[in-house]
């Protein structure tokens, strides 16, 4: 598995099977592993915030969540990736393997009504799945000593995998901060909780294949997402062209081992 610079953010040229196997192996061996799936929005957040970019570059596994990120790996490095590694789909593959192997999972994030719908939906799909704990986001800044308390609850639960659903980039900052405290994989899963709880409608497969999921999301939430897609997408393409032609050298920020001073929990 090779990390490649996409606008200075290091992304793994990987597929579903390889990513799932790496996560499950770390869970079985009791090893920390920080994982996220980045689409254009996540990459651009890291480009605009060098400190965030440095933290993203310290993640153990960053998958190409969006088709444009997969296309960038193929264009810049001839990665020959046939598909993206979409966060909600990767989540279900990991949960399927966790259920098969008896690996307890901890859910952290989102709001309680979403979690109340998500838990029975997951048990219906994976009857053998063990949920070690379910904890909703508090939607406030972390308090002194709170990271250790959260890690203590997760460790005491017997969890072997943690799924973090706080939205980008909050979930990546949270995952980065918790990684030193937990001997298990932490997956920042984006909108996976909302999708699998039935709160968000998925776009048609043809839109997903052609990188048009952003248009679907924009149609559903135009007031919240217009800046993300109508400003960031063209900038991403411009920067990608500049990186490809050598007009801009996208130097990756050095990995940052130190957690952020404050972040939402």
Can you give the CATH number for the domain in which 37 is found? 3.40.50
Classify residue 119 as exposed, middle or buried by CB count within 10 Å of its CB (0-12, 13-18, 19+): middle
Asked if residue 175 is part of any domain, the answer here is: yes
Residues 15-46: tens digit of each pLDDT = 999 999 999 999 999 999 999 999 999 999 99
Asked if residue 257 is part of any domain, the answer here is: no
Asked if residue 121 is part of any domain, the answer here is: yes
Name the percent of the chain lying above pLDDT 70: 100
Cα separations (Å) of 113 from 18, 118, 134, 220, 259?
A: 33, 9, 12, 20, 30
Its domain, for residue 234, covers 3-139+153-192+204-245
pLDDT at 1 over 70: no
Q: Is 80 helix (H, G, I), strand (E, B) or coil?
A: coil
For residue 190, name the pLDDT band (cuts at 50, 70, 90). Answer: confident
Q: What pLDDT was estimated at residue 170?
A: 95
Closest-CA residue to 39 (of 8, 6, 78): 6
Asked if residue 259 is part of any domain, the answer here is: no
HSE-up (13 A, CA, CB side) for residue 228: 19
Asked if residue 260 is part of any domain, the answer here is: no
Asked if residue 253 is part of any domain, the answer here is: no
Classify residue 49 as exposed, middle or buried by CB count within 10 Å of its CB (0-12, 13-18, 19+): middle
pLDDT at 64 over 90: yes
Average pLDDT over residues 165-176: 95
Name the percent of the chain lying above pLDDT 90: 78
pLDDT at 148 over 90: yes
Q: What pLDDT was estimated at residue 30?
A: 98
Asked if residue 224 is part of any domain, the answer here is: yes
9-12 vs 3-6, strand pairing mode: antiparallel
Average pLDDT over residues 75-102: 97
Q: What pLDDT was estimated at residue 45?
A: 96
Distance CA 213, CA 240 (A): 19
pLDDT at 112 over 70: yes
Tally of domains within the chain: 1
Mean pLDDT of the chain: 93
Asked if residue 57 is part of any domain, the answer here is: yes
* pTM summary value: 0.94
Q: What pLDDT was estimated at residue 260?
A: 85
């Amino acid at each position: 598995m090779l990390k490649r610079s996409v606008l200075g953010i290091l992304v793994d040229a990987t597929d579903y099977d390889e990513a799932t196997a790496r996560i499950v192996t770390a869970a079985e061996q009791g090893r920390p592993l920080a994982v996220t799936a980045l689409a254009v929005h996540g990459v651009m957040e890291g480009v605009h915030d060098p400190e965030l970019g440095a933290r993203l570059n310290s993640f153990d596994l960053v998958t190409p969540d969006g088709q444009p990120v997969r296309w960038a790996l193929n264009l810049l490095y001839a990665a020959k990736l046939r598909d993206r590694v979409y966060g909600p789909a990767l989540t279900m593959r990991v949960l399927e393997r966790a259920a098969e192997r008896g690996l307890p999972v901890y859910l952290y994030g989102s709001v309680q009504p979403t979690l109340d719908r998500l838990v029975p939906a997951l048990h219906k799909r994976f009857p053998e799945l063990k949920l070690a704990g379910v904890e909703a986001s508090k939607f406030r800044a972390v308090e002194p000593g709170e990271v250790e308390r959260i890690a203590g609850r997760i460790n005491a639960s017997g969890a072997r995998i943690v799924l973090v659903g706080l939205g980008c980039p909050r979930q990546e900052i949270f995952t980065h901060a918790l990684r030193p405290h937990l001997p298990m994989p932490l997956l920042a899963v984006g909108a996976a909780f909302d999708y699998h709880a039935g709160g968000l409608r998925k776009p048609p497969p043809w839109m997903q294949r052609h990188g048009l999921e952003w248009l679907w999301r924009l149609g559903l939430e135009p007031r919240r997402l217009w800046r993300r897609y109508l400003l960031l997408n063209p900038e991403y393409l411009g920067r990608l062209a500049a990186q490809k032609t050598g007009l801009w050298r996208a130097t990756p920020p050095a990995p940052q081992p130190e957690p952020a001073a404050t972040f939402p929990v």
